[in-house]
Structure 1
Amino acid sequence: MATQTPDQLQGKTCKPCEGGVQKMNQQQAKEQIIELAGWKLTRDANWIEKKWVFKNFQQCLNFLNHVGEVAEAEQHHPDLHLEGYKNVRIEISTHAIDGLSENDFILAAKIDGIDLKSL
């Protein structure tokens, strides 16, 4: 997979993955993660993660609800963590291949596209 900008990723749709797809190697993942501000590789480059800090608990819930809508629309579901009362952490991986696929970066870019001012 060639490295893509956030705009390119946001213009795509996640493809169903039930396995049989090659996961990204570490080098591909490292090249792609650079394009997504604030995201980092974790768990031996098989997951990506980002953290947010909000003003209050309600903003966290509003954000997570928006993330849930995006995830449902893409049929690709991240691990969502509400920590403390104002911290959100999101982890993404393609479970069926036990690693990263293009879908993970598409979803991350779409999460980054959520208007935080509307929360």
Structure 2
Amino acid sequence: MEWKTENNCLTKEFVLKNFKEAVRFVNQVMPLAEAADHHPDLLIHSYKKVKVMLMTHSEGKITEKDHLLARQIEAEFTKEFG
């Protein structure tokens, strides 16, 4: 699944093996977000799915900052779980 625009956010749902892996993925997103001074909304649901929602809150819209973090998150997921 590709990233898509939903409710004024850049979103993607990642499917992991189990709840433990979903939590581990969220914990790996955190330092990427902190380094970018960007704070995505992260939702763990259905025990193994993580929905990532990116929007630059100060701009009230999706910006290049969101696309950059999306690429970093995608690369981390592929490296660790893909």
TM-score, normalised relative to structure 1:
0.63
RMSD across aligned positions (CA): 1.4
Letter in 2 for 1:39: W
Deviations 1:50-96 (A, max 9, x none): 00111111100110000011101111110000002101100000111
- Aligned-residue sequence identity (percent) comes to 36
Q: Which runs of 5+ in 1 are unaligned?
A: 1-36
Give CA-to-partner distance per residue, 1:92-114, whole Å, 9 cap, x none: 00111110111000000010110
CA distance in 1, matches of 2:9, 2:81: 27
1:98 aligns with 2:52: no
The size of the alignment, in residue pairs, is 80
Aligned amino acid, residue 89 of structure 1:
K
Candidates 59, 73, 78, aligned match of 1:111: 73
1:38 maps to amino acid: E
Gaps of 5+ in 2: none
Find the counterpart in structure 2 of residue 42 from structure 1: 6
Distance in 1 (CA, whole Å) between partners of 2:55 and 2:81 is 27
Q: Does 1:84 align with 2:46?
A: yes
Q: Distance in 2 between matches of 1:54 and 1:76?
A: 23
**Once superposed, which parts of structure 1, at least 4 consecutive aligned residues long, lie more than 4 Å away?**
none
Q: Is the 8 A contact 2:16 2:81 kept in 1?
A: no
Max radius of gyration: which structure?
1
Alignment of 1:62-81 (within 5 A): 62-81=24-43
